[in-house]
Amino acid sequence: MTVGAARERAADALASESVPRVALAHEWLVSYAGSERCVAELLEAFPGATLLTTVFDAAALPPAFAHAQPSALQRLPGATRHHEWLLPLMPLAWRLRRPVRDVDVVVSSSHACAKAVRVEPGIPHLCYCHTPMRYAWDFEAERDRFPAPLRPAARLAMAWFRRWDRATARRVTRFVANSTAVARRIERAFGRSAQVIHPPVRTDFFTPGGEREDTFLYVGRLVGYKRPDLVVDAFAGLPEHRLLVVGDGPARAALQARAPANVSFLRSVDEAELRRLYRAARALVYPVEEDFGIAMAEAQACGTPVVGLAAGGAADIVEPGVTGWLLAEQSVDAVRAGVRRAAAAELDPAEIARRAQRFSSERFRREMRAAVAACVEGRG
């Protein structure tokens, strides 16, 4: 079948309002976090889609993922527990898979290697890019992920990965980014433009309610790049305010050891308790440069303002003076000033929640269906 004939057949299927035959490709499926929730919504948007990945842990995922097809890496001992150490083998794992065929379109959900999925000629490939591979394109910021003795070798390996990553980007028909910041990274890394479609937030679950308290909230993994240290240190100079830190990670012990009396910690909570904490918080304090930042959008869906950093996804999420405040820099003084401003201000929780509807799951499914249709029809 020619390229033109394949596109015409797929476009006809979409035009007749039938569901296109879709293959989804995702990096690895070993936990249920932000990118996996995007895949879950894509499975809702495209019922019956084939799901391809490298390694798969069925016990960690909802039943909707049960039909995932892992690669040969699945057979390696400890593959699901130590999947990140398999990164050097993932280009080969995608290369060794047969090209995807007998579908109308391939959609990859990629933050590392999934966009390297091979596709039969004539089948369009839309990449929903969470970010170009951070290990390769921003190695110095990610260097702590690698043991110190391995960093020189890792730096050389990432130079190869940049060339490979740029080469595989040429095979993508259309890019979609999860934020404006990621769209700019795609432009810098690959020389490609990208439409922005924000990730899905369960705005039907994360809703306003309950009594507001005078406690500030931090939610996220306790790792260096998320800068929980800035928030904890800022509250050391704010004895009149309380901070609750929700999350776990390698920095937890050190943070607890230095935390003042007005800072407390919760290791983990279920979604119902997280919603209650969002609803009760005076504000979510999140001075993190994220690709998007789902916690900020969830908090706003509960009517809670955000003190965020004027970088990354927060620039798309936080509307200064309406849904929160943006910090000009990552520093203790800036966080402290932002908290004081949030404590003195009164933003409208109903308006904050209303504006968070632009991140709803239904909106994500609708916009992704339209992007897939445009990809198949050759627009953009």
What fold does the segment set 215-359 form as a domain?
Answer: Rossmann fold (3.40.50)
Beta bridge partners of 126: 107, 174
Tell whether the model's pLDDT for residue 8 goes beyond 60. Answer: no
pLDDT digits (tens, 9 = 90+) for 271-282: 999 999 999 999
pLDDT classification of 113: cutoffs 50, 70, 90: very high
Mean pLDDT score, 326-347: 96
Residue-wise pLDDT for 174-187, tens only, equals: 999 999 999 999 99
Q: Which residues pair with 51 in a beta bridge?
A: 24
> Which tokens sit at 134?
């951070």
Tell me: the pLDDT tens digits for 137-161? 776 666 666 667 777 777 788 888 8
Mean pLDDT over residues 347-359, rounded? 97
Chain centroid to CA 320: how far? Answer: 22
Domains 3-200+361-376 and 215-359 alike in fold: yes
Quote the pLDDT of residue 179.
Answer: 97
- The pLDDT, as a whole number, for residue 159 is 87
Task: Report pLDDT digits (tens) over 188-239.
Answer: 999 999 999 999 999 999 999 988 999 999 999 898 888 999 999 999 999 9
The pLDDT of residue 262 is above 60: yes
The CATH architecture assigned to 3-200+361-376 reads 3-Layer(aba) Sandwich (3.40)
Greater confidence (13 vs 145) lies with 145
One-letter-per-residue 3-state SS of 279-297: HHCCCEEECCCCCCCHHHH
The DSSP bridge partners found for residue 216 are 243
220's tokens: 């996220």
User: Average pLDDT for residues 238-258, to the nearest whole number?
Assistant: 94
**What's the whole-number average pLDDT of the chain?**
91
Q: Evaluate whether 277 touches 244 at the Cβ level (below 8 Å).
A: yes
Q: How far is CA 23 from CA 32, 174, 197, 238, in A?
A: 20, 15, 19, 51
- The angle subtended at Cα 62 by Cα 56 and Cα 65, nearest 5°, is 50
Of the candidates 363, 313, 329, the residue with the CA atom closest to the CA atom of residue 185: 313
Residue ranges covered by each domain of the chain: 3-200+361-376, 215-359
